[in-house]
Amino acid sequence: MENPSLPHYHGEEPAHTEVVRQMLEKEDTFQELSDIFRQLGDANRIRIFWLLCHCEECVVNIAAMMDMSSPAVSHHLRILRDSGLLTTRRDGKEVYYRAPDTVQGQLLHEIVHRLQNAEAEGCDKMVVPARDRDHLLRVECFA
């Protein structure tokens, strides 16, 4: 049976193709994802995000742990906070930063964690099995 909505039929279920097509139409969602990944396109921001997934810290302590200046850390923190990847808490004059306790924050932390572990285990290639696209964190490691 040929799927009239696509130029070529490769055995896909028409209902699945329609669901995928509907998801692709949600351009705002993909733009939000692009913005998040853009914020994590800097290695220092990924390091700061990872650190703040594990603890709550002030700028001075983050700068010391990162071996960076406080103004440079503040710049990265502002970008991460403005994109929703960090939350803050004020105690007097001190501001403390941490990763949000949200599904988005937990998923991003899980991605970073898994990729770190893969590298530590000597994996040079990560593969998402073709039929397992709904479970993107289920990856295989090939050394």
First-last CA distance in the chain: 41
By three-state DSSP, how is residue 140 classified? Answer: strand
Are the C-beta atoms of 104 and 36 separated by less than 8 Å?
yes
pLDDT tens digits, 29-45: 888 888 888 878 889 99
Give the per-residue pLDDT at 27: 86
Supply the DSSP string of 57-125, one letter for each residue: EEHHHHHHHHT--HHHHHHHHHHHHHTTS-EEEEETTEEEEE--SSHHHHHHHHHHHHHHHHHHTT--E
Tens digits of residue pLDDT in 39-70:
788 899 999 999 999 999 999 999 999 999 99
Helix axis angle, 59-66 relative to 70-82, nearest 10°? Answer: 110
Beta bridge partners of 86: none
Is the pLDDT score of 141 beyond 50? no
Q: Which comes out higher in pLDDT, residue 88 or 33? A: 88
pTM exceeds 0.75 for this model: no
**pLDDT for position 14:** 73
pLDDT top residue among 84 and 137: 84
Q: What is the pLDDT of residue 132?
A: 47
Amino acid identity at 93: K
